[in-house]
């Protein structure tokens, strides 16, 4: 027996971080979640799986129009014609309280009740699936305690949308522990809600497949679902299916050897070329580049994020413009030690350095600075917000950090000029 376990599909959820840029792949961003889901359905048909499980967050909250539901019905129709049933559990994003639109689903689609745990049996396969959909967005009670006992003689699958307990970056919905899941004595737990892949194998096999398509730079790396194979002795094997159609990556470039902006741009180009060459597939990558290290280029980079971005875009155009997209360039460098004025130095540069150090801890000066800059930081057009990331420090009240960043960059730039 084989089945596909997917979760956190978030149909028609926008991909954030690229759409504001003129060079962004607009069509790909708009349709990425749909294309990924269509790929998943094609894999299910090609592999002739016995059924599919979707463990919550099929949708992304309220529909903007009925096209989201129509698309899902069309894809379910493909599975219906292939004789593949689908078992859907509603999570926090598609709970009854969140959904404003619903359509009649094809008869091969079975949705778990929101009132109490429900069991679906596939008698021909001797499979029992147990699940409880979210009725409200914020379900903070432990749902597992009410799940039924396993059906004797059947392969039992628990379907649950949960953050589990402890350490999750996601909202703590339907909290429970791994030990509780094992104690239920189901053979397999099909989980959803956490967007990263995870697996525990002991009394039960417990799996988060991760989300189907990364939607922003916080969801880096390969994304997809899992193909589960169950032998005649009920041994379980789990194979990852990488379905995403655009992949987010974070690349860190050490600028220590560089002394100019051009050299930094070339180092970024080399790192991005290595990323493309190492990729196992031709899936396009959306990349955030962070420049780090103590470097002689620190002063020249000061305030020039927009120019560096243009230089990196030129490198990308030469490498593989159809497989590589730039989300952001972030400068996090530091000056070389000799760029800071020596403690015994007595000149205008040392005086300026001392004044700026004092300013970092002067509440009166920092308040005055915030009053002067807050209107600009709040009302600046989005293009300016992106090209001057220091404005975020003003909006967040981080004026000491702003002064520190300015001191570091300005002093390094003046020292280089000297």
**Residue 79 sits in a domain of what CATH number?**
3.60.21.10
| Rounded alpha-carbon distances, angstroms, from residue 263 to 139, 257, 291, 331, 352 | 52, 9, 12, 14, 29
pLDDT score at 52: 98
In this predicted structure, what is the pLDDT of residue 91? 85
In a shared domain, residues 303 and 235: no
Task: Tell me: do 115 and 134 sit in the same domain.
Answer: yes
Boundary-marking domain end, from 242, 270, 286: 242
- Of 207, 242, 277, which residue is a domain's last? 242
For tokens 């059947």, name the residue. 154
Bridge-based pairing state of the strands 86-89 and 51-55? parallel
Cβ atoms 335, 293 nearer than 8 A = no
List the chain pLDDT tens, one digit each, 418 residues. 999 999 999 888 877 766 556 666 666 777 889 999 999 999 999 999 999 999 988 887 676 678 888 899 999 999 999 999 999 999 877 765 555 557 788 999 999 998 999 999 999 999 999 999 988 777 778 888 999 999 999 999 999 999 887 545 555 777 788 999 999 999 999 999 999 999 999 999 999 999 999 988 889 989 999 999 999 999 999 999 999 988 899 999 999 999 888 899 999 999 998 888 887 777 888 899 999 998 888 877 877 788 888 888 888 888 876 788 888 888 888 887 655 554 455 556 566 656 666 666 767 777 777 777 777 767 767 656 665 667 677 677 777 776 666 666 665 566 565 5
Verify that 256 and 226 share a domain, yes or no.
Answer: no
Q: Which of 381, 231, 217, 184 is nearest to 290 (CA)?
A: 217
The answer on 387 and 323 residing in a single domain is yes
Q: What is the pTM of this model?
A: 0.80
185, two tokens? 């004595």
| pLDDT value for 240 | 96
**267 and 281 co-located in one domain:** yes
Q: How far is CA 352 from CA 3, 303, 345, 411, in A?
A: 67, 18, 12, 8
Residues 218 and 275 in one domain: no
Query: Helix crossing, 348-360 with 399-417: angle to 10°?
Result: 170
Same domain, 262 and 155: no
pLDDT on residue 47 = 96
Determine the structural domain holding residue 115 and report its residue range: 2-242
Question: Is 370 strand, coil or helix?
Answer: helix
Edge-to-edge order in the sheet of strand 188-193 = 118-122, 127-131, 155-162, 188-193, 205-208, 198-201
Number of structural domains, the chain? 2
Identify whether residues 192 and 272 lie together within a single domain.
no
Does residue 260 sit in the same domain as residue 204?
no
**The pLDDT value given to residue 317:** 85
CA–CA–CA angle 16, 20, 23 (5° rounding): 110
Residues 218 and 328 in one domain: no
What are the residues facing 240 on neighbouring strands?
226
- pLDDT given for residue 288 in this prediction: 92
Show the DSSP H helices in 48-156 as ranges. Answer: 67-81
Residue located via tokens 């499979």: 127
Does residue 288 share a domain with residue 226? Answer: no
242, 266, 299 - which closes a domain: 242
Same domain, residue pair 95 and 203: yes
Q: What is the pLDDT of residue 349?
A: 52
């Amino acid at each position: 027996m084989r089945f596909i376990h997917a979760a956190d599909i978030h149909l028609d959820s926008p991909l954030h971080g690229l759409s504001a840029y003129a060079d962004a792949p607009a069509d790909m961003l708009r349709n990425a979640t749909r294309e990924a889901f269509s790929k998943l359905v094609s894999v299910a048909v090609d592999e002739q799986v016995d059924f599919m499980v979707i463990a919550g967050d099929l949708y992304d909250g309220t529909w903007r129009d009925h096209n989201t539901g129509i698309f899902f019905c069309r894809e379910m129709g493909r599975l219906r014609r292939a004789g593949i049933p689908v078992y859907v559990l509603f999570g926090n994003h598609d709970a009854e309280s969140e959904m404003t639109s619903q359509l009649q689903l094809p008869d091969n689609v079975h949705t778990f009740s929101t009132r109490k745990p429900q069991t679906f049996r596939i008698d021909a396969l001797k499979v029992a699936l147990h699940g409880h959909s979210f009725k409200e967005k914020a379900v903070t009670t432990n749902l597992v305690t009410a799940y039924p006992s396993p059906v004797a003689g059947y392969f039992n699958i628990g379907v649950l949308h949960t953050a589990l307990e402890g350490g999750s970056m996601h909202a703590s919905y339907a909290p429970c522990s791994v030990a509780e899941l094992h104690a239920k004595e189901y053979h397999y737990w099909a989980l959803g809600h956490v967007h990263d892949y995870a697996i525990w194998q002991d009394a039960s096999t417990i799996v988060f497949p991760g989300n189907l398509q990364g939607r922003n730079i916080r969801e880096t790396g390969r994304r997809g679902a899992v193909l589960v194979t169950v032998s005649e002795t009920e041994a379980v094997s789990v194979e990852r299916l990488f379905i995403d159609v655009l992949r987010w990556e974070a690349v860190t470039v050490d600028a220590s050897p560089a002394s100019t902006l051009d050299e930094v741009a070339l180092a970024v180009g080399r790192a991005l070329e290595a990323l493309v060459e190492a990729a196992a597939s031709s899936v396009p990558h959306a990349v955030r580049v962070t420049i780090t290290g103590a470097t002689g280029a620190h002063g020249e980079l000061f305030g020039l994020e927009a120019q560096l971005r243009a230089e990196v875009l030129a490198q990308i155009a030469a490498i593989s413009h159809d497989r590589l997209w730039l989300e952001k360039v972030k400068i996090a460098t530091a000056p070389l030690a000799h760029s800071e004025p020596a403690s015994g130095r007595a000149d205008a540069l040392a005086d300026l350095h001392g004044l700026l150090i004092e300013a970092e801890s002067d509440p009166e000066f920092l308040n005055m600075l915030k009053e002067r800059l807050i209107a600009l930081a709040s009302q600046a057009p989005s293009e300016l917000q992106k090209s001057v990331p220091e404005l975020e420090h003003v909006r967040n009240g981080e004026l000491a950090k702003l002064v520190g960043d300015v001191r570091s960059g300005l002093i390094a730039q003046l020292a280089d000029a000297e």
